Structure 1
């Protein structure tokens, strides 16, 4: 892949992140309620946001991942991100991840975004399987995945170590054979 793809939903534009988005990324990654189920500590300075954007963009350039900035069509402010990592082209699968500024929670934004991103994954990237790893207590994220069509496959006990503890993950998957275009 060379050019970063732009995706559009009814209310949102998904686009490449740039250093100019650092303040927006810092704003929500500095909130404990956003990073509670995330594998990073809450940000304490803008450089952390700049470094994260740089890492995401480097992984895209290396065809290892893709992470979109989520913006409202009415303004250019980044309110969250969504994308694929753990991308295994030879195995036709990837892991989806996302987060959203709390003021936009419970309004259907993330459902809208994830639907568009999985459509891109199946139809453009040629994925056969999209996975999501969610802490069992992250009820909001689990509801988003289930609403879209992901199925829980089980609990991976102490699957990750972050924030000084072992963390269980519910593993969800969406298979292309179960995907129906809306």
Structure 2
């Protein structure tokens, strides 16, 4: 998991994460993402953190939703992978919107 693509002037960044499949569906990523969001908002002072997932990645979308992120939209055919175009979903959370 990381915080990247920092836009200091806008007080925002992206987050992305990967977890080995053997550890999926155990709540690990939800717990870790919450800790990283706390750090991003409380220690660094970001106002917005966003994440992009391939549209249809329901497991990752569920993690983002559990952490208080809101689906803001879908970028159609944003990436080209394995011979086809892939849509992505943009999720974000604002510092004042945290649920936990």
- Return the TM-score normalized by structure 2: 0.92
1:106 equivalent in alignment to 2:25: yes
2: CA distance, partners of 1:126 / 1:141: 25
How far did 1:165 drift? 3.3
2: CA distance, partners of 1:101 / 1:133: 19
Q: Per residue, is there more strand in 1 or in 2? A: 2
How far did 1:164 drift? 4.2
How far did 1:167 drift? 1.8
Q: Secondary structure at the match of 1:120?
A: helix
User: Which runs of no fewer than 5 residues in structure 2 stay unpaired?
Assistant: none
Moved over 6 A (4+): none
1: CA distance, partners of 2:83 / 2:44: 35
1:1-80 alignment runs, 5 A limit: none
Number of residue pairs aligned between Structure 1 and Structure 2: 100
Deviations, residues 55-86 of structure 1 (Å, cap 9, x unaligned): xxxxxxxxxxxxxxxxxxxxxxxxxxx01111
Q: Secondary structure at the match of 1:100?
A: coil
The structure with the largest alpha-carbon Rg is: 1
User: Which runs of no fewer than 5 residues in structure 1 stay unpaired?
Assistant: 1-81
Q: Secondary structure at the match of 1:99?
A: coil
1:142 equivalent in alignment to 2:68: no
The equivalent of 2:77 in structure 1 is 158
How far did 1:147 drift? 0.8
Q: 1:118 aligns with which of 16, 37, 45?
A: 37
The structure with higher relative contact order (CA 8 Å, sep 6+) is: 2
How far did 1:163 drift? 3.9
How far did 1:173 drift? 0.5
Task: Say what the alpha-carbon RMSD is for the aligned residues.
Answer: 1.3
2: CA distance, partners of 1:157 / 1:128: 26
Q: Is the 8 A contact 2:15 2:49 kept in 1?
A: yes
